[in-house]
Structure 1
């Protein structure tokens, strides 16, 4: 019998709140199946299973805040006999009570390792994201996306009064945006402005970036890359495709970075416990803005092995799901290097901050036109500023310069991508 534990979905994640189970006892599971939704400071995350077998039962009910690494369900192998009784789901902690007033169930405590953290010591309630079970159950009765549920809680919107515009009548984020401005309000006397606390996502970003600048000795490099060849190839490539299948420069940028890490593996991997572990695969994290609330950089898996059309399709799918509040746990935990771009915001040069435990981030600015000499001819050329923030514990400026130069070389031969 295998224990399914609360996964870590970020360098600074300590706990997550279970929103809902998506499977029932007795259901067959495959690797990669989504079995639950967990609320973190980054939003509602779909949690994937990594064990083949049968879902034996949940050990935690929706609404509970669970520390990372705590067993929350049991998964039985196909050749195992069912348990005599399925594990009972532990009730979530009630707000306003101390942890010891809500002890864990005996079944859960038996599943914890002898030297591991005890539930009553670690499972602290959170007034920000923990919900009473009654509220969680009420929210479950309305079909709505995780992003819509979070928006409704943040803005005091009753989902039962909203008509969903999704394919099956479910409420989506776009159905709620702007509704708070239509709610009746009582006139109130003017008050002096007060400082607003950070949102959960902004607090998570702040914690990760503070840790990055505190622990990682950054160095920065910048390089101009001529995009004449890349743009010409891209224009010809897109003329043969439908608008929905066309490729943008951003896909070439991600592919070029992923390809360059083959020659410079010291920029692709994780630095943990004082040791750098290069990754045999390239899971490129792509920075995506979530409707002004912050940035996440989920992974495109095996980016170096994907063709340009497949990479573009993966990017389009990822951006759509992230902005709808639907992305998976592995997409947050797996990135081995991050690619970021603010070109669509008019920024020409971007210097990123490394997201631990990664050791590098590559930034692309807005392509601009410059007068340059090429093969003895002077004329206008489209160029982009490419930057690297590297971890000096793993690489240095010399290797970083060669890495940027290789990205340049790759983009000069886009047909080879």
Structure 2
């Protein structure tokens, strides 16, 4: 029996809310299949399962906030029958009692019978009180839209009774709310998801600066060769197929990490665990603020066209709030590029348990000395923040040297 548990989707995650199950008991699932949607402080995440088999039992109901590591579902693996898994006794249905006087909307119900070791139910006599409204059914994209528009999903009416709340339902509710609320009220009702994200980021970055002994290096790289190659290459392509300047830099970073593997991995339980794969975490800004760094898997093995397609797909899904759990938990190193914002140098903070973050600034024309003469070259500043427990300045310097060398030979990056 395989136990499917709430995964950790980042160092700043302690729990997530199960929004939707995409499978049911009896369904066959394959390794890597998305089986659930979990809401975190950074948006909705499609959660994959990493074992093939048959879903036996969904342990957690939708709408419940679940700590990292808690059991979500049970899976029968190949060759295992349902009879081999001990059945969990069903809790008898809780009898309802009419609404309690003086407490509208609240129903008095008796405590659920407790199953004793003998199997006979023992009923507790102390009553509890709980709301009578049924659990809301809403699609992940509609939930995200409701948060952005400040719509209370409990007040949304669907086209048909009992139907799943859709984006169209949320949009209608938002329009009705706008007509009935004053501007001051609308502003006050804005969702606080951005504040929650900033709290999560602050916790992770505070932990990083508190626990990780950072060292910082920087170097200027002549980008003239790669810039000229990119212009010539893009002239051969349709507009939709052209490469962004960051893409060859991504490939160069991934290849340079092969030469200095101490920068590609995790610091766990007091030791470095280098990763054989280079999963490049790309820092991407979200609409309305906030930042995530999901992984582009095996970046060192992909062509520039594949990297461009992956980056475009990631940006689209980040800004629509739909990422996969593997993309959030797998990055072995982070790459941040603020050149488009005009920043010439960026010194990042390592995202634990990673051991390095690489930054690249804006490509600008600068004076450059070559063969004793001053010439104008396209130059960018590359930076490295690394964990001194896992590597040292000498190894970090070798990495930056390798990065600069690779960017002088853009044809090798294809």
TM-score normalised by structure 1 residue count: 0.79
Q: Distance in 2 between matches of 1:12 and 1:290?
A: 17
Q: What is aligned with 1:328? A: 324
- Report whether the alignment pairs 1:250 with 2:246: yes
Q: What is aligned with 1:347? A: 343
- Report whether the alignment pairs 1:294 with 2:290: yes
Q: Distance in 1 between matches of 2:258 and 2:56?
A: 42
Shift of 1:78: 3.5
- Report whether the alignment pairs 1:147 with 2:141: no
Please identify, of 237-246 and 275-284, the stretch whose mean Cα deviation from structure 2 is larger. 237-246
- Report whether the alignment pairs 1:273 with 2:272: no
Q: Distance in 2 between matches of 1:202 and 1:135?
A: 32
Q: Distance in 2 between matches of 1:87 and 1:357?
A: 37
What stretches of structure 1 of length at least 5 have no aligned partner?
A: 91-100, 107-131, 164-168, 190-195
Q: Distance in 2 between matches of 1:207 and 1:86?
A: 41
Q: Deviations over 1:228-275 (max 9, x none)?
A: 100111112112222222111111111111100111001000001100
Q: Distance in 2 between matches of 1:331 and 1:287?
A: 12
Q: Distance in 2 between matches of 1:319 and 1:102?
A: 48
- The structure with the largest strand share of the pair is 2
Q: Alignment RMSD, CA only?
A: 3.4
Q: What is aligned with 1:30? A: 30
Shift of 1:208: 0.2
Tell me how many residue pairs correspond in the alignment: 368
Q: What is aligned with 1:409? A: 405
Partner of residue 203 from structure 1, selected from 192, 199, 208: 199
Q: Distance in 2 between matches of 1:65 and 1:185?
A: 31
Q: Distance in 2 between matches of 1:103 and 1:238?
A: 67
Partner SS for 2:380: strand
Shift of 1:139: 2.8
TM-score normalised by structure 2 residue count: 0.80
Contact 2:136 2:154 in 1 (8 A): no
Q: What is aligned with 1:239? A: 235
Partner SS for 2:326: helix
- Report whether the alignment pairs 1:262 with 2:261: no
Shift of 1:199: 1.8
Shift of 1:102: 9.5
Q: Deviations over 1:292-338 (max 9, x none)?
A: 33100010000011111111111111111111111011111111110
Q: Distance in 1 between matches of 2:15 and 2:334?
A: 24
* Larger Rg computed on CA atoms: 2
Contact 1:18 1:39 in 2 (8 A): yes
Q: Distance in 1 between matches of 2:295 and 2:114?
A: 36
The 3 A distance-change label for structure 1 pair 315 and 212 is: same
Shift of 1:80: 2.1
Q: What is aligned with 1:44? A: 44
Partner SS for 1:45: strand
Shift of 1:105: 9.5
